Amino acid sequence: MAVYFLLFCGLIVAGLLLFAPLPVWTRVAVGLSLAAVGILFARAGGGRRSYAPPLPLPEPYVPVPRPEPQERQVMRIRLPSAEDDYDFLFSATVRWTPIGVVDNPSMVGLAGLAVEAILDRARSVTEKRDPARASLVQHELNGILGRMQPDRERYLNAMADSVTLALSDSDQERLDRLAGIRKEKAVWEHERKHEQSKRDYLGEDVLKDPGSAVVWYLARNDDQVERAVKDIGLLAQLSSAANNADVPERFQHLVPFPVPVPAGSAAHAGDGEANGRPSSAADHFAAFLRAAGFTEEDPKRVLYVQRNVLFLSKQGKGEVADDLARRFDVPSPAPGDPRFPRPGEPPFPPPPDDLYPPPDGPEDDPGHGPQDEPGL
């Protein structure tokens, strides 16, 4: 502090010497005096300077060692998946470190808390995943569980590595079977739709009528016009069969194959000629019975055939009568047979009462009776 005071005073004296009207020798003498006084004060102050002891060096920083992570193995823990009754089997190595200092370690099971935290994190992922994607979910869990995160109570940080996720052998087999069935069903659906589309195309477009069939044939074989003309009958027959209809009359003379014989005629070998049309009296009579609705199981059919056999015999058509008897397996009239009329009697006995049932309603013809029977 004294040094600053002396400097201030010296500045004042220097100002007076410079600007005051004093002789030169006076100014020199005063300046030398001030310089001497300053030197003396400087030496005196240097002799009284106190020595301060050096500050002690700070202690070196020693980091607090982190606790070593502890671990526990969990094996084949069932975790839910997105499908009911199909659980994942979870295995992993759980690692954890406590957060801070636990006051009473014996009262807190850190291992159980760590396993619970890891299972909760894993369950939140697996319950939304398809069990058929177990290998993909395994890699996802390895990434999610591979980071240290605190548990709910913040007692510890936990992570898991070496995660494996799988299904039981039986569940995996069922899923494989279901996947195979779904694939087969998809293929079958595509094949069925393709076949249905083809049927619709053929039935509703190509084979709609003989003309459409001929046009379709020419479109696919435009260089075979002569063959198309020859196959008109075949195409007409094919079109009619596709539509459950008879061949139109204007195309029947072009049909290369015989017209099908109505159902029931095939039971008798030798019915008609090669073209299916009846050629004898027995064939005509068989066609008549079919058209009239006399089935082979109908008992009235035998009675009706017998009467016609008898009628033909009386009219001198014994050969035709024998042909009918052989064809329909009915006995020929023998002389003296009580079932057939004697000479001079009516040619036919009266029919039984149940041959012609009474009319069921007013729509039936009331005038119809036994006397209207054809051939009588």
Instruction: Examine residue 31 and state whether it is found in any structural domain, yes or no.
Output: yes
The whole-chain average pLDDT of the chain stands at 78
Q: Which residue has tokens 């073209």? A: 275
CA dihedral 235, 241, 242, 245 (to 10 degrees): 110
153-185 per-residue burial string, b: 16 or more CB within 10 A, e: under 16: eebbbbbbeebbbebeeebeeebeeeeeeeeee
Could you give the C-alpha distances from 181 to 171, 176, 184, 185, 186, in angstroms and in order?
15, 9, 5, 6, 8
- The two tokens of residue 94 are 């759980």
pLDDT confidence of residue 278:
47
Q: Identify which has the larger pLDDT, 6 or 220.
A: 220
pLDDT tens per residue across span 301-321: 888 888 888 888 888 888 888
Q: Assess whether pLDDT exceeds 70 at residue 88.
A: yes
Among 239, 257, 275, identify where a domain stops. Answer: 257
Q: 178 with 110, same domain? A: no
Q: 237 with 321, same domain? A: no
Least confident of 149-158, 180-189, 355-364: 355-364
Residue 259 and residue 252: Cα distance in Å, rounded? 9
pTM above 0.75, yes or no: no
Cβ neighbours of residue 163 closer than 8 Å, sequence gap 6 or more: 90, 91, 92, 122, 138, 141, 142, 145
Q: 276 with 226, same domain? A: no
Instruction: Examine residue 295 and state whether it is found in any structural domain, yes or no.
Output: yes
Residue 290 and residue 265: Cα distance in Å, rounded? 8
Percent of the chain with pLDDT over 70: 66
Report the phi/psi class of residue 293: left, alpha or beta, with left for phi > 0 and alpha for psi in -120 to 50: left
Q: 159 with 129, same domain? A: yes
Q: Identify which has the larger pLDDT, 24 or 231.
A: 231
pLDDT tens per residue across span 24-57: 666 667 666 767 766 766 666 555 555 567 777 7
Residue 117 and residue 111: Cα distance in Å, rounded? 10
Q: 357 with 272, same domain? A: yes
191-227 per-residue burial string, b: 16 or more CB within 10 A, e: under 16: eeeeeeeeeeebeeebbebbeebbebbeeeeeeeeee
Instruction: Examine residue 129 and state whether it is found in any structural domain, yes or no.
Output: yes
Instruction: Examine residue 317 and state whether it is found in any structural domain, yes or no.
Output: yes
- The two tokens of residue 27 are 């100014």
Say if CB 70 and CB 97 are below 8 A apart.
Answer: yes
Q: 294 with 344, same domain? A: yes
Instruction: Examine residue 50 and state whether it is found in any structural domain, yes or no.
Output: no
Instruction: Examine residue 18 and state whether it is found in any structural domain, yes or no.
Output: yes
Q: 86 with 150, same domain? A: yes
Give the count of domains, the chain.
5
What single DSSP character describes residue 372? G
Range of the domain at 84: 70-167
Q: 161 with 120, same domain? A: yes
Closest CA to 90 of 155, 142, 22, 143: 142
Among 146, 167, 188, identify where a domain stops. Answer: 167
Pairing of strands 156-166, 88-98: antiparallel
> For position 115, which CATH number holds?
3.30.479
pLDDT confidence of residue 376:
38
pLDDT tens per residue across span 114-133: 999 999 999 999 999 999 99
